[in-house]
Amino acid sequence: GLCLGIESSCDETAAAVVGADRRILSSIIFDQTLLHADFGGVVPEIAARAHAERVDICVAQALSRAGVTLDDIDLISVTAGPGLIGGVLSGVMCARAISAARGIPHLGVNHLAGHALTPRLTDGIAFPYLMLLVSGGHCQFLAVDGPRAFRRLGGTIDDAPGEAFDKTAKLLGLGYPGGPLVEKEAAQGDPARFDFPRPLLDRPGCDMSFSGLKTALRRARDLIVAEKGGLTRQDRADLCAGFQAAVAEVLAEKTARALAEFGRPGGVLAVAGGVAANTAIRTALTGVCDRAGARFLAPPLALCTDNAAMIAWAGLEQWADGARPDAAMVARPRWPLDAGAEPLLGSGK
Least distance in Å: CB of 305 to ligand ATP? Answer: 4
Sites of contact with Mg ion (CB under 5 A): 10-11, 306
Asked if residue 110 binds ligand ATP (CB under 6 A), the reply is: no
Q: What are residue 272's DSSP bridge partners?
A: 133
Residue 135 in the binding site for ligand ATP (CB under 6 A): yes
Binding footprint of Fe ion, residue count (CB under 5 A): 1
HEC-encoded secondary structure of the chain: CEEEEEECCCCEEEEEEEECCCCEEEEEEEECHHHHHHHCCCCHHHHHHHHHHHHHHHHHHHHHHHCCCHHHCCEEEEEEECCCHHHHHHHHHHHHHHHHHHCCCEEEEEHHHHHHHHHHHHHCCCCCEEEEEECCCCEEEEEEEECCEEEEEEEECCCCHHHHHHHHHHHCCCCCCHHHHHHHHHCCCCCCCCCCCCCCCCCCCCCECCHHHHHHHHHHHHHHHHHHCCCCHHHHHHHHHHHHHHHHHHHHHHHHHHHHHHCCCCCEEEEECHHHHCHHHHHHHHHHHHHHCCEEECCCHHHHCCCCHHHHHHHHHHHHCCCCCCCCCCCCCCCCCCCCCCCCCCCCC
Contact between 91 and ligand ATP (CB under 6 A)?
no
Q: Give yes or no for residue 11 binding ligand ATP (CB under 6 A).
A: yes
Q: Mask: binding to ligand ATP, 168-207, rule CB under 6 A, as x and -?
A: ---------xxxx--x------------------------
181 is in an annotated binding site: no
Query: Is 183 annotated as contributing to ligand binding?
Result: yes
The smaller minimum CB distance to ligand ATP, of residues 189 and 273, is found at: 273
Out of 273, 315, 325, 346, the residue judged to bind ligand ATP by CB under 6 A: 273
- Binding residue per annotation — 209? no
Asked if 109 contacts 78 with a C-beta cutoff of 8 angstroms, the reply is yes
Quick one: what does residue 162 bind among Mg ion, ligand ATP, Fe ion, none, with the CB cut-off 5 to 8 Å set by partner type? ligand ATP
Residues 287-326: x where in contact with Fe ion by CB under 5 A, - otherwise, as a string = -------------------x--------------------
13 binds ligand ATP (CB under 6 A): no
Nearest-approach distance from CB 105 to ligand ATP, in angstroms: 26
Least distance from ligand ATP to the Cβ atom of residue 169, Å: 7
Q: Residue 87 interacts with ligand ATP (CB under 6 A)?
A: no
Contact 280/186 with Cβ under 8 angstroms? yes
Cα angle 111, 200, 267 (rounded to 5 degrees) comes to: 55
Contacts of 280 (CB under 8 A, 6+ apart): 183, 186, 244, 245, 248
Q: Which does 277 bind (CB under 5 to 8 A by kind): ligand ATP, Fe ion, Mg ion, none?
A: ligand ATP
Least distance from C-beta 214 to ligand ATP, angstroms?
A: 13
Site for ligand ATP in 294-313 (CB under 6 A): 305-306
User: CB of 79 within 8 A of CB of 88?
Assistant: yes
Q: Is 134 annotated as a binding residue?
A: yes
How many other CB atoms sit within 10 Å of the CB of residue 227? 8
Question: Is residue 242 marked as binding?
Answer: no
Q: If contact means CB under 5 to 8 A according to the sort of partner, which of Fe ion, ligand ATP, Mg ion, none does residue 165 touch?
A: ligand ATP
- Is 166 annotated to bind a ligand? Reply is yes
The annotated binding site for substrate is made up of: 133-137, 166, 179, 183, 278
The annotated binding site is made up of: 111, 115, 133-137, 166, 179, 183, 278, 306
Binding site for Fe ion (CB under 5 A): 306
Binding site for ligand ATP (CB under 6 A): 10-11, 135-138, 162-163, 165-166, 177-180, 183, 273-275, 277-278, 305-306
